[in-house]
Amino acid sequence: MADVDARKVCGVPERVQLHVAMLALQFGYAGFHVVSRAALNMGISKVVFPVYRNIIALILLVPFAYFLEKKDRPAMTLSFTVQFFLLALCGITANQGFYLLGLEYTSPTFASAIQNSVPAITFLMAAVLRQDSVTFAVLTHGIYDGVRC
């Protein structure tokens, strides 16, 4: 912990920067929920909206990925490209599509709450399918963290 407090960028401790970044991300998510609902009310297609969002994200993130991760990039093999495409299709696009479908029938608050429950549902599915080992200590710690938040 002392290592995080000791590092400073522009005179601001890294710990403060991390908290500010987390707050900015949460405000961005809240804005996205409201903008999504407004776009659906204006009549934008539930299929087109995620496409626009992903294109904007691509334009914003590609320069950072190219220059900052230049030395760490894996080789672009066919197998890697297919896996990456399937991950994007199932993980991001399907999540956004189902989110927008649900948002059409509920409020942004409810849709946001359900979307935030995805990690818990994923953990339960992994535990039921025996992909993740669950001990009493892990379960107690997870419940404690959930109550604490």
The verdict on residue 19 lying in a domain is yes
Q: Is 131 among the domain residues?
A: no
Residue 82 lies in a domain: yes
The tens place of each residue's pLDDT in the chain, 149 residues long, gives 555 556 777 778 888 888 899 899 889 888 888 888 888 888 888 888 888 888 888 899 889 888 888 788 778 889 988 888 888 877 777 888 888 888 778 887 887 788 778 788 888 888 888 877 777 666 666 666 666 66
CA 106 vs. chain centroid, Å, equals 21
Q: Does 129 map to a domain? A: no
Q: Is the pTM of this model over 0.85?
A: no
How many separate domains does the chain show?
1
- The residue range of the domain holding 47 is 2-116
Q: Is 28 exposed, middle or buried (0-12, 13-18, 19+ CB in 10 A)?
A: exposed
Q: Specify if 130 maps to a domain.
A: no
Domain contains 138: no
